[in-house]
Structure formats: structure tokens, C-alpha cells
Amino acid sequence: MMNSTMRKHLFTWGACFLLLSVLAACSRSESAFSDEPVKPSEQTTKSYTTQTNEVIEIPTHPQRVIYLGSALGDLLAMDIPVVGANLIHASESYIEDRLESMEDVGNPGDLETITALQPDLILNGYTQDADRNAAFSKIAPTIPFNSALPFTERVHELGNIFGKQNEAEQWISRFDTKAEAMWDKLNVAEGETATIFLQLGKQLYVMGNRSLGVVLYQEHGFAIPPAIQHNIIDKNLTFVELSEELLPKYAGDHLFVLTLDNDESRAESDRLLQSTLWKTLPAVQQGRVYTASADWNTDSLLALEQLLDELPKWMNR
């Protein structure tokens, strides 16, 4: 039989084991049901030089990104984990099915909403607003992001920020290959020109070589009408407002008419397409007019990917 001292030691060890088991169970229970948000684990960082030549520390692999600006499609095309954005710029058909898990943070960005999302990186497309940029920087590292850059430069910028340099090169390579195949299918004759007209309300614009022009005026695509080259591109403009009497001056061999999706814009576009002057244009008489939503007047990466499929459909080829 055990002596009394041994029995006391066994009893003490058993009680301690039971107490530790209970405490461990309680700890697991509290962790499972706690209302406190789980904080992201510590990340490694890297130095990054912004487009305004400021050197800042950013996460090496950001996981909770806030984007503010008009180029959300760029980030989605690059599979960047965006948890919040100002969705006022995200109503286009090519993007709307990608927004289910994304929070609308308002325009140009509500500080309280952004803070609650616990971002580890903010991309601020409103680079001219220094005060706003400083306020965002108190929440998370903030990078000014110029959405007006040519799309190839934006791809490389995103690759550098998110450590996706290889993916950026692969995206451009895929786009170029697919674009060349599209132009082979469309079989545009050398020197054949095209013009993009944009109807926004009562205002009519003619576009240069940005937005949809990025696709139309590629190496194997349409040539640029002289008036567009001289009055828009050579002057480093994106577009010019146009009075209807100048239509013949800017009209190419093919006409792309993009209309904003509202009643006023559609009514003005319909009136233009029925006007006497419009019907005198050679492209109209030859049935080379293609109409589409103004949503496609963009060089967002996500849109560019889809435009290579859409353009042949517009032209029935």
C-alpha cells in the first residue's frame, strides 16, 4: 500500500493536470468565439520609390489592398487582393461580376470605412490631393498610383509594387499575341483608317490614341486619320470636343460610336446617326459604323482583355 506522502503527491499532480486541461479548454473556447478580429500576421517589408520619388516601406506581399481611383480593372486583371475600392468607378459590364467580396469605401475614400478594413496597403489614384494622401498614410502605407499612364507602364508599376514582375511581362506577352491574332482575323487593309466618336450627354467628342484607341491603333490595326494625329495626338491630348460640322474632317474609313448609358446621351446619339450630314459620310454609306457602350472607352487591363473578343463581334467578323 502507498504511504500517505505518496498519495498526497499523486493527488496534487492529478489536480494540477485537471486544472491545466480546463484552462486550455477555456482558452480554446474564448479564441473560437471571440468578437475580436483576427489581426494579420506580421509581414516582411521592402523599400519602394513612388512615382513622386518618395521612398516608403510597403509589405512585400500585400494581402489587404485598398484602391482609390479609376483603374480598378488593372488590379483585378493582375489578381491583386483588393478588399475595398471606390466603386463609383466600377459600374462597367466588364467588371461588375468581380466585385462580390469588395467593400465600397466611398469617393474619394471614407477614412473610417478604410480603417475598419485593416488594409496593409493603399493605392491612391488621386495623387494631386496631398492632404488626402497624408490621411491615408496614417492608416497604412500609401502609394500614389497614376491611372493616366499608358497601360504597359501601369502593368509594370503593379508588377513592381506587388512582386509580380514576371506576371506583368506574361500579361503583356499574352495581350500582344492575342491582339495580333485578332487583327489577322479582321484583315484590315494597310492605310485603312478608323475614328472613335464619344457621345456624353449633349457633348460629342473625338478620341485620340488612348482608351479604345489603344486597341484600334495598334501596329497591325487601323491607321490614324490625319486630323486626329495633328489636332489630338501631336498636341498630347486625349480627346477634343467636336461640333457636328467638323464630322467630315475627322471621320475615317470606319466609325466607332460610343454612347454613355443614359437617356440624354442615347437621344443625342440617335439624332446624330439620323442627321443629314452623318449620312453623307463615306463610312456610313458603306455600312462601316459600329455602336457600343461608352463603358468600352477605356484601356483598363480587364477591359483590354475582353475588347479583343468584343471588337470582331462589333464588326461582324
Angle among Cα 200, 204, 209 to the nearest 5 degrees reads: 95
227-273 pLDDT, tens digit each = 999 999 999 999 999 999 999 999 999 999 999 999 999 999 999 99
Q: For the purposes of burial, counting CB atoms within 10 Å of the CB of 310, is it exposed (0-12), middle (13-18) or buried (19 or more)?
A: middle
63-113 per-position pLDDT tens digit: 999 999 888 999 999 999 999 999 887 777 778 778 888 999 998 899 999
> pLDDT tens across 185-203, in order?
999 999 999 999 999 999 9
Q: Are 69 and 89 in contact (CB under 8 A)?
A: yes
pLDDT by residue (tens digit) across 41-54? 567 999 999 877 88
**Cβ neighbours of 185 (radius 10 Å):** 11
Distance CA 283, CA 128 (A): 42
d(CA 229, CA 252): 12
